[in-house]
Amino acid sequence: MKQVYPEYPGEYIRDILLTREQIQARVFEMGQTLSKDYAGKNPLFICILKGATLFHSDLIRNIDIPLSVDFIAVGSYGASTHTTGEVKLIKDLDCSITGRHVLIVEDIVDTGLTLTYLKHLLENRDPATVRICALLSKPSRRKVEVAVDYQGFEIPDVFVVGYGLDYAERYRNLPDIGVLKFMAQQQEG
Ligand code: IMP
Ligand code: MG
> How far, in Å, CA of 54 to CA of 108, rounded?
12
What mean pLDDT comes out for the span 18-45? 98
Q: Is the CB of 178 under 6 A from ligand 1?
A: no
What is the predicted pLDDT for the residue at 187?
A: 57
Strand partners, 182: 11
Nearest to 57 by CA among 80, 77, 31: 31
What is the predicted pLDDT for the residue at 184?
A: 77
Is residue 110 part of the annotated active site? The answer reads yes
Spacing, Cα 110 to ligand 1 middle (Å) = 5
pLDDT at 4 over 80: no
What is the predicted pLDDT for the residue at 2?
A: 61
- Which ligand is closest to the CA of 50, given by its number? 2
Phi-psi region of 95 (alpha: psi -120 to 50; beta: other; left: phi over 0): beta
Contact 44, 103 (CB under 8 A): yes
Number of other CB atoms surrounding residue 177 within 10 Å: 26
What would the pLDDT profile of 129-186 be if each residue is shown by its tens digit? 999 999 999 999 999 999 999 999 999 999 999 999 999 999 999 999 999 999 876 5
What would the pLDDT profile of 73-132 be if each residue is shown by its tens digit? 998 765 555 556 678 999 999 999 999 999 999 999 999 999 999 999 999 999 999 999
Q: Sign of the C-alpha dihedral, residues 153, 154, 156, 160?
A: positive
Q: Is the CB of 114 under 6 A from ligand 1?
A: yes
Spacing, Cα 50 to ligand 2 middle (Å) = 7
What is the predicted pLDDT for the residue at 78?
A: 56
Q: Is the CB of 176 under 6 A from ligand 1?
A: no
pTM of the model: 0.93
What is the predicted pLDDT for the residue at 80?
A: 56
